[in-house]
Amino acid sequence: MSGLTHVALAIVLGGAFASGLVLVATRIPRLAAPTLSRGIAPYLRDIADPRGLTPLAPVPGDWRARRDRLMASVGGAARLEHRLRQAGWTQDAAGFRARQLTWVVVGGLLGGVVVVILTVSGRLTPGAAVLPPVLALSAAALVDFRLTAAARRRRTRVEEELPTLLEFLSLCLAAGEGLRDALHRVGEIGSGELTVEIRRAVLDSGTGSNLSDALLDLGRRLDVPALSRAIEHLVAAIDRGAPLAGVLQAQAGDAREDAKRSLIEQAGKKEIAMLFPIVFLLLPMSVLFAVFPGIVMLRLGVG
């Protein structure tokens, strides 16, 4: 065997030995036992959050400080936190970066395993050397793409739920309920993404925060234009003492018009996208089937 094959076998055997040591260490009672905070966390709820909207995430203080310093050096934490809130994920920016780094390591290891297998089998090519970094970068991009897709899907669901929620709020207000009671009723009865955020705003307003500030924070957190516009009009109506039921009815109508306009725009984009297979696949095949028999007949001298 060549020296490269010996190196590949050493990597395989060393990795297997290290994995075995890690598995044995995790089964040692003192190391495998959960921490006290992790053991009691499922049985505790903050009195300000009785429905568990913000689950406890016990992280040691020293590790949290080092993690925050690393995130500050990387940059972009504020934008990442905003995207995480849009997607409805409970982890913070540092936790997301740690998860992304884990997938980067896994992708690099998978690429290394493939390179080792190719080396042992004698089919290693120069292009295979770039496989570990390519898989690592692909894993990082995939994690970021999942976050972006989750945020987009959640914003779409919020836009779909907004007209119905505004109409329900206007009915509650027209029936004589106060705004906070109406929001509390929506949060208790509803089961969508927007109702979860409404429930959180009501909890914030019940623990010392102003209701207007809690609603504005909800709009900034989701960053949906129709929702932000409706909240701004609602807060302005609260400050001026205007009738809230009429304001919510008007905003519900505007939200439905926005949804209708969005559907028309999506239909236009889909219609344009449908032209690509027609123009680049069906039309050339039709021309080929129409012209090819004539070319064959001319070559054969028939007709």
Q: CA 168 → CA 173, 199, 245, 265, distances in Å? A: 9, 15, 10, 27
Tokens 């970068």 belong to residue: 137
The model's pLDDT over 258-297, given as tens digits with 9 standing for 90+, comes to 888 888 888 888 888 888 888 888 888 888 888 888 777 7
Asked if pLDDT for residue 66 goes beyond 90, the answer is no
Confidence of residue 67 (pLDDT cuts 50, 70, 90): low
Q: State the pLDDT confidence band at 145, using cuts at 50, 70 and 90.
A: very high
pLDDT band at 45 (very low <50, low <70, confident <90, very high): very low
| Token representation of residue 110 | 């998978």
Half-sphere exposure of 290 (CA within 13 A, CB side): 6
In degrees rounded to 5, what are phi and psi of residue 52?
A: 70, 45
Report pLDDT digits (tens) over 84-108.
Answer: 888 888 888 888 888 888 899 888 8
Q: What is the DSSP string of the chain?
A: --HHHHHHHHHHHHHHHHHHHHHHHHTSHHHHSPPHHHHHGGG---TT-TT-SS------HHHHHHHHHHHHHH--HHHHHHHHHHHT--S-HHHHHHHHHHHHHHHHHHHHHHHHHHHHTT---GGGGGHHHHHHHHHHHHHHHHHHHHHHHHHHHHHHHHHHHHHHHHHHHHTT--HHHHHHHHHHH--SHHHHHHHHHHHHHTTT--HHHHHHHHHHHH--HHHHHHHHHHHHHHHHT--HHHHHHHHHHHHHHHHHHHHHHHHHHHHHHHHHHIIIIIHHHHHHHHHHHHHHHHHHT--
CA–CA separation, 238 vs 250, rounded Å?
15
Mean pLDDT score of the chain: 79
Q: Are 65 and 128 in contact (CB under 8 A)?
A: no
Q: How confident is the model at residue 149 (pLDDT cuts 50, 70, 90)?
A: very high
Residue 65 has what pLDDT? 61
Distance from first CA to last CA of the chain, Å, rounded?
A: 69
For the stretch 269-276, contacts whose Cβ atoms lie closer than 8 Å and that sit 24 or more positions apart, written own/partner, are none
pLDDT over 70, % of the chain:
79
Report whether pLDDT(173) > 80.
yes
pLDDT tens figures, 204-251 = 887 777 888 888 888 888 888 888 888 888 888 888 877 888 888 888
**pTM as predicted:** 0.65
Q: Label residue 70 by pLDDT band (50, 70, 90).
A: low
Describe the crossing of helices 193-205 and 131-174 by its angle, rounded to 10 degrees: 70
**What distance in Å separates the CA atoms of residue 216 and residue 205, rounded to the nearest whole number?**
12
The CATH code of the domain at 156-259 is 1.20.81
pLDDT at res. 235: 87
Q: What is the pLDDT of residue 153?
A: 92
pLDDT tier for residue 144 given thresholds of 50, 70 and 90: very high
Torsion angle, CA of 150/153/155/158, rounded to 10 degrees?
A: -120
C-alpha 221/C-alpha 79 separation (Å) is 11
Average pLDDT on 22-47 reads 61
Say what the pLDDT of residue 146 is. 93
CA atoms within 13 A on the CB side of 88: 18
